[in-house]
Amino acid sequence: LTKNRYPVNRGDYAILNDNHVQFFKNLLDNRIITDPDECESYNIDWIKNVRGYSTCVLKPKTTEEVSKILAFCNENRIAVCPQGGNTGLVGGSVPVFDEVILNTSLMRTIYNINGTSGVLICQAGCVLEDLDNALAEHGLMMPLDLGAKGLCHIGGNVATNAGGLRLLRYGNLHGSVLGVEAVKADGQIIDLLSALKKDNTGFHLKHLFIGSEGVLGIITKVAIQCPPKPLAINLAFLGLPSFKHVLKVLKQAKRDLGEILASCELIDQSTMRVSTENLKLRLPFPEEYPFYMLIESHGSNTVHDEEKLTVFLEEIMKNELILNGILAKAPSTIRKIWELRERLTEGFVLDGYVFKYDISLPIENFYSLVPVMQERLSGLKDVIRVSGYGHLGDGNIHFQVSCREFSQEILQKIEPFVYEYTSKLRGSISAEHGIGFRKPKYVHYSKSPESIVIMKQLKTLFDPKGILNPYKVLPP
């Protein structure tokens, strides 16, 4: 249980014994998994990059149960790995050694949806897509949307400050999360569950939990501001000759579509082949292009939106910015096109091993890393593709190198170069996926020494024994 699979040493935590397990059983009845085969899937992350060997998965239903579990673990120095839908992409959601897994999948009560204010209050284990479906009955929707929506939990979304496909229009979770309830490492319940839009009574402590990746406390409830479901949705799918053209189209879309611009995604040709070749999905037109853009509009008036889209499309065609394009209005066509984008993470896994980087860069440099890395990795026979795609409208590229299997030689060619490159351009080495287990030693490329010190002081304040998600987020 204490062997080192990774270059980190196991902390000085207790090894789980029968008395510990009995305590959990008494508290949770049968909501505990100790069978090694059943524990297996909770120990491996979605992209199968990180794996732990926990022998105990706990599934509380209430905040009080979470509180009792943490108080006990804190007292007995048992390390805990908080886990939602386990779709995180930086290895934060699985144990590194034998940490007890506290999984929120049974915390899925929706307490209230207020159709007038648009405020949703629910438990942390609600699945994002279930919330979206429940809100639809009130004419509302979740302010965030990701390819993992069928699996990820709202608590996990808040803990990672997830971005996703609609951030351009609806902002990030620091804006839309109105309040949280969280449990500290010692079991203390912190009620920050405000449902108010305005509340300037001192520090906004909820923000500490948004993006804290399970190292400061366990989020148990969330209050979130949800926008009305748009009555008119249109999606333009475009083929373009170069990144220069992409930037011009982005500028035009911002100008012509204004407040209805909801999403602006970019996919390069090599990435698109993951969808067409690995996943056998079909492009809406037969030819391939160097770049593809998905531009979605959300509005309340079909005629008004169509007028805006017509002006936009006429303008980009007149200026010869695109090589091909279609405008999809039917929900089924829109869904099919989005599959090309949303299933990329799944498609990349079929290449074998994927080195994934989630980077923010100034917009002019959004794509510059890809050709630089293609050059740097040329000649390495195990590399399958070096490519980029992502949230162009937010300046957030997902840069990927895929190969048949993990290779130290390839890793050394990529890291730390990719972080140095990003840092020189004052970008962020983690735009939306977080730091997790994979990136703590690189945090300094994006955070000043002073802010790292404050992060560590906050960790000590919230979790003095360091039982919550050890080995993650904070640099060693």
Binding site for ligand FAD (CB under 6 A): 46, 82-89, 92-93, 104, 124, 146-148, 152-153, 155-157, 159-160, 162-165, 213-214, 218-219, 345-346, 432-433, 436, 469
> Cβ-closest residue to ligand FAD?
156
Q: Report the run of H or E that residue 271 belongs to, with start and end.
A: helix 269-273
CB of 186 to ligand FAD, least distance (A): 15
CB of 375 to ligand FAD, least distance (A): 28
Nearer residue to ligand FAD within complex by CB, 296 or 432:
432
CB of 85 to ligand FAD, least distance (A): 3
Compute how many other C-beta atoms are within 10 angstroms of the C-beta atom of residue 456: 12
Q: Is 449 exposed, middle or buried (0-12, 13-18, 19+ CB in 10 A)?
A: exposed
CA distance 258 to 274: 32
What residues are paired with 391 via a beta bridge? 396
Nearer residue to ligand FAD within complex by CB, 241 or 440:
440
Q: Report the run of H or E that residue 387 belongs to, with start and end.
A: strand 383-391
Pairing type for strands 232-240 and 324-328 reads antiparallel
CB of 471 to ligand FAD, least distance (A): 11
CB of 11 to ligand FAD, least distance (A): 16
CB of 355 to ligand FAD, least distance (A): 16
Q: Tell me the backbone φ, ψ of residue 45, rounded to 5 degrees.
A: -80, 170
Nearer residue to ligand FAD within complex by CB, 245 or 465:
465
CB of 58 to ligand FAD, least distance (A): 13
Nearer residue to ligand FAD within complex by CB, 131 or 316:
131
Q: Using alpha carbons only, what angle is made at residue 86 by residues 65 and 263, rounded to the nearest 5 degrees? A: 120
Nearer residue to ligand FAD within complex by CB, 87 or 252:
87
Q: Using alpha carbons only, what angle is made at residue 156 by residues 62 and 182, rounded to the nearest 5 degrees? A: 45
Pairing type for strands 100-103 and 80-83 reads parallel
3-state secondary structure of 349: helix
Nearer residue to ligand FAD within complex by CB, 256 or 463:
463
Nearer residue to ligand FAD within complex by CB, 88 or 299:
88
Q: What's the full length of the chain, in residues?
A: 476
Locate 167 and state its tokens: 């951030």
